[in-house]
């Protein structure tokens, strides 16, 4: 039996990614998770991911069991590997939001069922699936050749979105303050997939001619002690109306949420006509439903 996991979005081939997005757009004709559970572990807070994933499991006919990290004591009460082994005995799949990417990778290595990364310090692949679904709904399936501009921190959300955009043939232009750009290993990973990626410290340069402008918080969960330093470093990286104007009138704005209006994005943009953020948030549910359907079908095959 083949067990497939999703630790990062490029665990899917371009064809598989298209299949997951296709599945996300249809209501399952049967209840593929009937009588099965899905364990959802959260070491960090979540509103969208927990609600979207629990409801996706319900829509697939399964039963979600959400746990906070402190309830189960990952690597304290028992190891991540032992937890993954026992959860595999009850559930058809496991999702985990973790501080260290290595935790979800270790769970996948030990699990007997698919493990989905619901956000780590390195990646947020289910967010990237929802982002592509949102862009497909807006622009149609022909995303190849379109340009994605990322403004801000080259964080977990950027990592997954830049890989996902590459898998559908989009170009990526990132504007990040010095010291907050993508590392060489990530750029090499994007380029190994055939990605067209460039990095600058000038937001106007990155957004020029872009079809999509995306950003995220300046301080991610777990980095709270750096928030003052980051606020200073990211000055000038707010996505506001003048910056969006450089991308052209047909460009759209994405943000994974939660948002800090007046920091990484101005209210006029996130609440304005070019913003797709509310559809993007709802699409978290549709995208993870398509993914769980795909992974558990592969698992059974
Ligand atoms: N976008 C996202 O992952 O939101 P939550 O942290 O609320 O799950
Ligand atoms: N980069 C953010 C995303 C939250 C959904 C974080 O990791 O906190």
Which candidate, 142, 144, 172, places its Cα nearest to that of 158?
172
Q: What SS3 class is residue 216?
A: coil
d(CA 89, CA 95): 14
In this structure, the answer to whether residues 145 and 185 fall within a common structural domain is: yes
Whether 267 lines ligand 1, by a CB cut-off of 6 Å, is no
d(CA 5, CA 115): 5
Q: Is residue 216 part of a domain?
A: yes
Whether 52 lines ligand 2, by a CB cut-off of 6 Å, is no
Candidates 4, 11, 122, 127; catalytic one: 127
pLDDT value of position 77: 97
Work out the number of other CB atoms within 10 angstroms of the CB of residue 126.
27
Whether 127 lines ligand 1, by a CB cut-off of 6 Å, is yes
Whether 264 lines ligand 2, by a CB cut-off of 6 Å, is no
Most informative mutation of 41, 256, 259, 264 for ligand 1 (most atoms within 8 A of CB) = 256
pTM of the model as a whole = 0.98
In this structure, the answer to whether residues 138 and 274 fall within a common structural domain is: yes
In this structure, the answer to whether residues 169 and 288 fall within a common structural domain is: no
What CATH number did the domain enclosing 43 receive?
Answer: 3.40.50.1370
**Measured from the CA of 256, which atom of ligand 1 is nearest?**
1
In this structure, the answer to whether residues 49 and 67 fall within a common structural domain is: yes
**Measured from the CA of 50, which atom of ligand 1 is nearest?**
8
Residues 6+ apart with CB under 8 A from 2: 298, 299, 301
d(CA 10, CA 17): 9
Q: Is residue 15 part of a domain?
A: yes
d(CA 206, CA 212): 11
Active-site residue flag, 255: no
113 Cα: distance to centroid of ligand 2 (angstroms): 26
Whether 259 lines ligand 2, by a CB cut-off of 6 Å, is no
Most informative mutation of 45, 98, 220, 264 for ligand 2 (most atoms within 8 A of CB) = 220
Q: Is residue 3 part of a domain?
A: no
d(CA 223, CA 240): 24
In this structure, the answer to whether residues 223 and 177 fall within a common structural domain is: yes
pLDDT value of position 300: 47
Which candidate, 214, 207, 200, 202, places its Cα nearest to that of 165?
214
The CA-based angle 156-229-174, given to 5 degrees, is 40
Q: Are 66 and 49 in contact (CB under 8 A)?
A: no
pLDDT value of position 299: 57
In this structure, the answer to whether residues 105 and 243 fall within a common structural domain is: no
In this structure, the answer to whether residues 67 and 95 fall within a common structural domain is: yes
Q: What SS3 class is residue 170?
A: coil
221 Cα: distance to centroid of ligand 2 (angstroms): 6
Ligand index nearest the alpha carbon of residue 283:
1
**Measured from the CA of 46, which atom of ligand 2 is nearest?**
5
Most informative mutation of 49, 66, 131, 260 for ligand 1 (most atoms within 8 A of CB) = 49
- Tell me which residue has tokens 């996991």: 5
What is the number of structural domains in the chain?
2
Q: Which domain holds residue 245?
A: 127-281
Active-site residue flag, 231: no
Q: Name the closest-CA residue to atom 4, ligand 1.
A: 48
In this structure, the answer to whether residues 140 and 175 fall within a common structural domain is: yes
pLDDT value of position 301: 47
In this structure, the answer to whether residues 141 and 265 fall within a common structural domain is: yes
In this structure, the answer to whether residues 98 and 243 fall within a common structural domain is: no
Q: Is residue 264 part of a domain?
A: yes
223 Cα: distance to centroid of ligand 2 (angstroms): 10
In this structure, the answer to whether residues 147 and 118 fall within a common structural domain is: no
Which candidate, 13, 17, 16, 10, places its Cα nearest to that of 186?
10
d(CA 168, CA 162): 10
Q: Is residue 146 part of a domain?
A: yes
Q: What SS3 class is residue 74?
A: strand
Phi, psi of 84 (to 5 degrees): -60, -40
Q: Are 264 and 238 in contact (CB under 8 A)?
A: yes
Q: Is residue 1 part of a domain?
A: no
pLDDT value of position 2: 85
In this structure, the answer to whether residues 134 and 276 fall within a common structural domain is: yes
Q: 35-88, pLDDT tens digit by residue?
A: 999 999 999 999 999 999 999 999 999 999 999 999 999 999 999 999 999 999
Q: 150-186, pLDDT tens digit by residue?
A: 999 999 999 999 999 999 999 999 999 999 999 999 9
Q: Is residue 301 part of a domain?
A: no
Phi, psi of 219 (to 5 degrees): -120, 110
Q: What percent of the chain has pLDDT over 90?
A: 97
More confident residue, 32 or 301: 32
């Amino acid at each position: 039996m083949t067990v497939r996991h999703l630790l990062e979005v490029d665990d899917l081939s371009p064809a598989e990614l298209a299949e997951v997005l296709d599945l996300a757009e249809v209501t399952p004709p049967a209840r593929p998770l009937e009588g099965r559970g899905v364990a959802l572990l959260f070491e960090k807070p979540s509103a969208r991911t927990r609600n979207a994933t629990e409801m996706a499991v319900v829509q697939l006919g399964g039963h979600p069991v959400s746990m906070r990290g402190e309830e189960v004591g990952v690597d304290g009460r028992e190891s991540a590997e032992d937890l993954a082994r026992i959860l595999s005995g009850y559930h058809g799949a496991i999702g985990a939001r973790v501080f260290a990417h290595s935790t979800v990778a270790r769970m996948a290595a030990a699990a007997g069922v698919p493990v989905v990364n619901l956000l780590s310090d390195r990646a947020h692949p289910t967010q990237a699936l929802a982002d592509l679904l949102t862009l497909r709904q807006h622009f149609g399936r022909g995303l190849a050749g379109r340009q994605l501009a990322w403004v801000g921190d080259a964080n977990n959300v950027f990592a997954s979105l830049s890989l996902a955009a590459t898998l559908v043939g989009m170009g990526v232009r990132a504007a990040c303050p010095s010291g907050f750009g993508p590392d060489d290993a990530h750029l090499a990973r994007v380029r190994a997939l055939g990605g067209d990626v460039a990095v600058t410290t000038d937001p106007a340069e990155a957004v020029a001619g872009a079809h999509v402008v995306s950003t995220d918080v300046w301080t991610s969960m777990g980095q709270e002690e750096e928030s003052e330093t980051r606020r200073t470093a990211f000055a000038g990286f707010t996505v506001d109306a003048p910056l969006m104007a450089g991308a052209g009138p047909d460009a759209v704005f994405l943000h994974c949420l939660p948002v800090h209006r007046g920091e990484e994005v101005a209210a006029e943009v996130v609440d304005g006509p070019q913003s797709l953020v509310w559809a993007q948030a709802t699409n978290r549910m549709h995208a993870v439903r398509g993914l769980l359907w795909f992974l558990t079908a592969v698992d059974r095959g």
